[in-house]
Amino acid sequence: MDRLRPRYFRHVEFQVVDGEEVSRFHLCWVLHYFLHRALVRRLLNVHARRSGLKRIIFLRAHGSNRSTTKYCYFHGRKVKSVQDWIDAHDGLANALVVGACNCHNLDITAQHSIIIHPNCSWCLQEFMRVKGGGYIRVFVPGVGYVEKNYHLFNKVIDGLV
């Protein structure tokens, strides 16, 4: 498996809380489709150099659509807040990747780590089909969401923002 794993997956911690049996190989490919855009990878590299944070923590869970005001996921039968998970892991890793459906396209924030999460309900087949990464949102601490603004993405990378 290590031969097929892209270089930027060396420092990844996977947290699978949806109760499904999945292989590390499958998780790596799911993560690949979250991070396949060159701009996202460049942003992560620059942020890692600036912040000194190296790891990626990937939460794999089923999203909950019970709340229209709070981004939540299922941990077993319990509904938990994605923002609470982020607050608990913020500053422990360069990036926190949330692999849970975000049915209502809700916002989340962080102080130290870059947050990458979907903007809707998603499945791996859709990520594979949409080459431009149209289903992800990227939150940069101190800047906000940058995925819809190519120029802002580059300003953050160049250190102008």
For residue range 78-130, what is the model confidence (pLDDT) as tens digits? 999 999 999 999 999 999 999 888 888 899 999 999 999 988 877 666 666 66
pLDDT tens digit sequence for 25-37:
777 777 877 887 8
Contact 92, 42 (CB under 8 A): no
The full set of domain ranges for the chain reads 7-158
Give me the pLDDT at residue 115, please: 96
pLDDT: which is higher, 72 or 126: 72
Alpha-carbon Rg for the chain in angstroms? 15
The mean pLDDT of 141-161, rounded to a whole number, is: 85
Cα–Cα distance, 153 to 95 (Å, whole number): 16
Q: What is the mean pLDDT of the chain?
A: 82
Residue 17 confidence (pLDDT) above 80:
no
